[in-house]
Amino acid sequence: MKKKFRTKLKKLQYFKLTFLPGFCTKLLKKELVPIKKGKTSSFLIQLLEKQKLKYNYRLKENQIKKYVER
């Protein structure tokens, strides 16, 4: 399980996540894990895996909100 999670984390490091200062939800604040450009949540990692986004895809705040609201 840990190995799989680390693999997801490595893949997530390719994302350039950009957030506005006030952007956060309870879901995104849970279980924060460090990545190259700050911290993100394990929920977001799972979300990106489910969406099967390409790992070179540049993810913006409004795109993340769109997936969270589904």
Q: pLDDT digits over 6-63, tens only?
A: 666 666 555 555 554 444 444 455 566 666 666 666 666 666 666 655 444 456 666 6
Q: Quote the distance between the C-alpha of residue 57 and its chain's center.
A: 12
User: Do residues 59 and 47 lie in contact, with contact meaning Cβ atoms separated by under 8 Å?
Assistant: no
What's the total number of domains in the chain?
A: 1
Residue 36 confidence (pLDDT): 62
Range of the structural domain that residue 34 is part of: 2-69
Say what angle helices 42-51 and 2-12 make with each other, to 10 degrees.
80
Residue 55 confidence (pLDDT): 44
Residue 53 confidence (pLDDT): 53
Residue 62 confidence (pLDDT): 67
Q: In Å, how far are 1, 23, 53, 67 from 42, measured between CA atoms?
A: 13, 17, 16, 15
**Eight-class DSSP state of 61:** H
Residue 60 confidence (pLDDT): 64
